[in-house]
């Protein structure tokens, strides 16, 4: 009951925040968001950590719903992972909002924002705690409405209204598909409760399994931002405030993955490899297309939105690999792939929230998010630049930051497809591996561009020249998330056992036993052969045995007798070595140059009298090679805006801009739109006011129905 007590305190604080918001002065609402939001988020973190680390499931009953069914909440280790991640992101966002929301004073109602903020937080927690279909769907709908209202907070801008409606429309379509999937399961089990559905899940026919899988992935995939139902994501992020964008990427997208996992791995245990292959391919395509469009984007928030699609794709790829391994009898490999998926989700939530905070800070204190008009911010916003750099290195999977560990595990899991027997399945894994390898390379390009064009070089606009550093209330949460990026990268031997405990029920094996050998047995019997442990102790695996808690600091997957070590890494020891190398190099350089006189002169500029901002490299120029290489996929459209003189005799300026319509929009949505427009045009031509034609319509319809009746 400890977890539920903290959960109760969380809901009480959310209710208190919503009740106080209308009575607190407008200028004090950001402080209310920071204090009450931080306290509520801390309660949520404690509840999630307790469920995750204890491995227990706690249930509570709230009473009867208006439909007469009992409302039950349940906190198990699986939901505990998402509750903990949600609490961490909301904690940082609440503190960040104290300074960030000041920009909306006298423009929009912060009282309304505060009410919506706490309502969204409560709805998200209710989604993760719901243990029956009705409670889940009601909480999901409240969460979707809250997201729409917060994304559309700056409602005086027409483009924001359009983005909000698109998000709402696609979200409602996804909710409908997910609701049908859950109701099919409830009908088969004869109950709305998840426990009854779970008990009946093993007896479902394959046809019903496939139906539920397709509907749930299509429905929840909208919130997860998976191809082809992710058109709303790059449009909603630029419209939303930066703190809301951090929640969209760091929390809301995770709910889509949570829904897919809860339905297809928990309620209906996987029995077929086919759904895993579908997830594998959808994830790989989403990752590649997401990062490809991110590289070509110049707006910082649009770039980060496409990058969120990439990261959700990586997690979905690992999830699909886990399903394939689990259904083919490779439980240890399934545990590795699933823990890699959840590790990726946790990492993405942290560094993407950090990066959106950075983008929002740049927008607020430099006046623009366009990378072509930034530059030189490292001199005016040094702390923001440092934290954005750490986030960029993390999301680009550069060692020793957090993204490296999860993406490394994902690629290692894909390589283990060599143990599968089906050549067709191996081909799917090979395609996914190639796509993720290319994705990783493009991610480095993307975030080199984001940081270099935004923070290095010289300012390319007056707004960038006048930029200033953000207040401490905004820098502090960014610094905390940056530190967490480092910790998640160098301490995988502590993260993996925590995540593995939550996934043991759906993966069938312990990721900790598979990946983190008990080198530090502390007198307890070890599952590993004595000679195996002795060999690694000779290599230094016992270093830190007296001071390091847990199982050690080495991530290692042990194979058979012929291949005792399949892969291994020690990011913790590597981090220490890296610090020593950097420190030693700095010491040697300083010693060698201490006795010498260093002359500082202006750098050679190639004979240019003065280097102007317009002569420097821009974000568009940096990413142009990628546009050229992938032109067949991007297929840009040139939009011409021509200005002419009086009497329209001479053109004085021709401005051409290039747009990159999304591949899914071009191949699917635009085709459907054209077809529907054609059908609407045909129907419009039928309304011409001629009575004889209308009579013919009625007669034709009557003959058609008589013909159908005769055939039956």
527: confidence class by pLDDT, cuts 50, 70, 90? low
* Beta strand 637-644 pairing with 555-558: unpaired
Instruction: Work out the mean pLDDT of the chain and round it to a whole number.
Output: 84
Tokens coding 237: 């992020």
Domain ranges across the chain: 617-659, 667-711
318 versus 520: the higher-pLDDT residue is: 318
655: confidence class by pLDDT, cuts 50, 70, 90? low
pLDDT tens digit string along 49-88? 888 888 787 777 665 555 555 667 888 888 889 999 999 9
pLDDT confidence of residue 542: 66
Of 345, 353, 278, 355, which is closest to residue 314 (Cα–Cα)? 345
359 versus 682: the higher-pLDDT residue is: 359
286: confidence class by pLDDT, cuts 50, 70, 90? very high
Asked if residues 285 and 435 have their Cβ atoms less than 8 Å apart, the reply is: yes
pLDDT confidence of residue 627: 77
Which stretches of 617-701 are assigned E, i.e. beta strand? 637-644, 651-659
* pTM (predicted TM-score): 0.89
Residue 228 DSSP SS3: coil
CA distance 280 to 76: 26
pLDDT confidence of residue 272: 85
Q: What is the mean pLDDT of residues 541-556?
A: 70
pLDDT confidence of residue 649: 57
pLDDT tens digit string along 206-265? 889 999 999 999 999 999 989 888 888 888 888 889 899 999 999 999 999 999 999 999
DSSP H/E element including 603 = none
Q: In the 3-class helix/strand/coil scheme, how is 50-92 assigned residue by residue?
A: HHHHHCCCEEEEEEECCCCCEEEEEECHHHHHHHHHHHHHHHH
Q: What is the mean pLDDT of residues 335-340?
A: 90
Of 395, 372, 430, which is closest to residue 306 (Cα–Cα)? 395
pLDDT confidence of residue 234: 87
pLDDT tens digit string along 104-146? 888 888 889 999 999 999 999 999 998 889 889 999 999 999 9
CA distance 372 to 621: 9
Sequence-ordered list of residues with C-beta below 8 angstroms from that of 671, at least 6 positions apart, any chain: none
Residue 193 DSSP SS3: strand
Residue corresponding to tokens 């994501």:
233
pLDDT confidence of residue 63: 54
- Given a cut of 80, whether residue 536 has pLDDT beyond it is no
464 versus 601: the higher-pLDDT residue is: 464
The DSSP letter of residue 250 is: I
pLDDT tens digit string along 420-456? 888 899 999 999 999 999 999 999 999 999 998 889 8
The sign one gets for the Cα dihedral 605, 606, 612, 613 is negative
- 31 burial type by CB count under 10 A (0-12 exposed, 13-18 middle, 19+ buried): middle
pLDDT confidence of residue 90: 93
Residue 528 DSSP SS3: coil
pLDDT confidence of residue 356: 94
457 versus 31: the higher-pLDDT residue is: 31
Q: What is the mean pLDDT of residues 369-379?
A: 87
Tokens coding 356: 């959106």
Residues 136-165, buried b or exposed e (16+ Cβ, 10 A)?
bbbbbbbbbbbbbbbbbbbeeeeebeebbe
CA distance 341 to 414: 12
pLDDT confidence of residue 438: 92
pLDDT confidence of residue 392: 93
Tokens coding 132: 């029956």
DSSP H/E element including 134 = helix 133-151
Residue 70: beta bridge partners? 64
pLDDT tens digit string along 134-143? 889 999 999 9
Of 409, 405, 410, 378, which is closest to residue 394 (Cα–Cα)? 405
pLDDT confidence of residue 165: 87
Number of H helices, E strands in the chain: 29, 6
459: confidence class by pLDDT, cuts 50, 70, 90? confident
DSSP H/E element including 556 = strand 555-558
- Given a cut of 80, whether residue 545 has pLDDT beyond it is no
pLDDT confidence of residue 353: 94
pLDDT tens digit string along 172-215? 999 999 999 999 999 888 888 888 888 887 888 888 999 999 99
- Of the ranges 25-34, 640-649, 701-710, which is most confident? 25-34
In 3-state terms the chain splits into helix, strand, coil percentages (rounded to 5) of 70, 5, 20
Q: In 10 A of CB 708, how many CB atoms? A: 9
Tokens coding 166: 């698109």
Q: What are phi and psi of 131, to 5 degrees?
A: -125, 20
- 542 burial type by CB count under 10 A (0-12 exposed, 13-18 middle, 19+ buried): middle
Q: In the 3-class helix/strand/coil scheme, how is 325-375 assigned residue by residue?
A: HHHCCCHHHHHHHHHHHHHHHHHHHHHHHHHHHHHHHHHHHHCCCEHHHCC
CA distance 336 to 345: 14
1: confidence class by pLDDT, cuts 50, 70, 90? low
Q: What is the CA radius of gyration of the chain?
A: 28
CA distance 460 to 618: 9
pLDDT confidence of residue 160: 82
261 versus 701: the higher-pLDDT residue is: 261
pLDDT confidence of residue 653: 58
Kindly list the distances between the CA atom of residue 306 and the CA atoms of 165, 297, 539, in Å, as whole numbers in the listed order.
19, 9, 43
Asked if residues 341 and 319 have their Cβ atoms less than 8 Å apart, the reply is: yes
């Amino acid at each position: 009951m400890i977890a539920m007590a903290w959960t109760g305190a969380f809901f009480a604080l959310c209710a208190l925040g919503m009740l106080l918001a209308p009575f607190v002065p407008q200028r004090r609402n950001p402080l209310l968001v920071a204090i009450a939001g931080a306290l509520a988020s801390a309660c949520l973190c404690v509840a999630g950590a307790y469920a995750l680390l204890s491995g227990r499931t706690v249930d509570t009953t709230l009473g009867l719903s208006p439909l007469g069914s009992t409302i039950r909440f349940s906190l198990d280790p699986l939901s505990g992972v998402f509750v903990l991640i949600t609490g961490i992101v909301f904690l940082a966002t609440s503190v960040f909002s104290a300074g960030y929301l000041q920009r909306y004073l006298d423009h929009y109602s912060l009282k309304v924002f505060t009410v919506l903020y706490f309502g969204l937080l409560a709805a998200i927690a209710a989604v993760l705690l719901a243990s029956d279909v009705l409670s889940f769907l009601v909480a999901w709908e409240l969460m979707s409405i809250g997201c729409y209202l917060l994304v559309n907070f700056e409602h005086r801008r027409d483009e924001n209204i359009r983005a909000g409606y698109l998000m709402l429309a696609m979200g409602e379509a996804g909710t409908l598909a997910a609701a049908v999937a859950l109701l099919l399961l409830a009908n088969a089990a004869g109950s709305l409760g998840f426990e009854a559905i779970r008990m009946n899940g093993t007896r479902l026919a394959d046809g019903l399994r496939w139906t539920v899988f397709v509907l749930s992935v299509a429905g929840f995939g909208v919130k997860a931002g998976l191809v082809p139902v992710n058109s709303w994501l790059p449009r909603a992020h630029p419209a939303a405030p930066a703190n809301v964008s951090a929640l969209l990427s760091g929390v809301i997208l995770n709910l889509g993955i949570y829904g897919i996992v809860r339905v297809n791995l928990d309620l209906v245990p996987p029995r077929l490899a086919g759904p895993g292959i579908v997830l594998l391919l959808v994830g790989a395509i989403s990752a590649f297309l997401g990062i490809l469009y991110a590289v070509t984007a110049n707006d910082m928030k649009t770039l980060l939105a496409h990058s969120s699609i990439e990261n959700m794709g990586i997690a979905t790829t690992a999830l699909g690999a886990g399903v394939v391994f689990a259904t083919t009898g490779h439980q240890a490999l399934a545990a590795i792939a699933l823990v890699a998926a959840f590790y990726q989700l946790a990492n993405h939530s942290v560094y993407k929230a950090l990066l959106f905070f950075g983008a929002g800070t740049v927008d607020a204190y430099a006046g623009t998010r366009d990378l072509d008009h930034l530059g030189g911010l490292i001199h005016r916003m040094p702390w923001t630049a440092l934290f954005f750099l750490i986030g960029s290195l993390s999301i680009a999977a550069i060692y020793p930051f957090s993204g490296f560990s999860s993406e490394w595990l994902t690629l290692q899991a894909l390589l283990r497809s060599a143990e599968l027997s089906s050549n067709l399945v191996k081909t799917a894994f090979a395609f996914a591996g190639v796509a993720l390898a290319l994705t990783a390379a493009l991610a480095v390009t993307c975030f080199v561009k984001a940081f270099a064009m935004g923070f290095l070089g010289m300012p390319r606009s007056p707004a960038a020249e006048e930029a200033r550093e953000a207040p401490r209330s905004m820098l502090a949460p960014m610094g905390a998330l940056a530190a967490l990026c480092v910790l998640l990268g160098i301490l995988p031997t502590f993260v993996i056992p925590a995540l593995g405990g939550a996934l043991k029920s759906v993966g069938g094996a312990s990721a900790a036993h598979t990946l983190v050998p008990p080198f530090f047995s502390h007198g307890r019997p070890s599952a590993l052969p004595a000679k195996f442990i002795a060999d690694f102790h000779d290599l230094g695996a016992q270093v830190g045995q007296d001071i390091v808690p847990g199982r050690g600091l080495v991530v290692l997957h042990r194979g058979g007798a012929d291949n005792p070590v399949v892969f291994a890494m020690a990011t913790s020891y590597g981090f220490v070595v890296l610090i020593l190398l950097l420190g030693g190099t700095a010491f040697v350089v300083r010693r060698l140059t201490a006795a010498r006189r260093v002359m500082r002169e202006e750098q050679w500029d190639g004979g240019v009298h003065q280097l102007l901002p317009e002569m420097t490299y821009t974000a568009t120029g940096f990413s142009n090679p990628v546009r050229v290489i992938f032109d067949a996929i991007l297929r840009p459209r040139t939009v011409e805006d021509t200005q002419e003189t009086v009497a329209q005799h001479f053109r004085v300026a021709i401005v051409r801009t290039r747009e990159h319509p999304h591949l899914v929009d071009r191949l699917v949505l635009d085709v459907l739109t054209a077809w529907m427009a054609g059908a609407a045009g045909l129907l419009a031509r039928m309304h011409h006011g001629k009575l004889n034609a209308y009579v013919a319509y009625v007669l034709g319809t009557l003959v058609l129905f008589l013909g159908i009746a005769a055939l039956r």
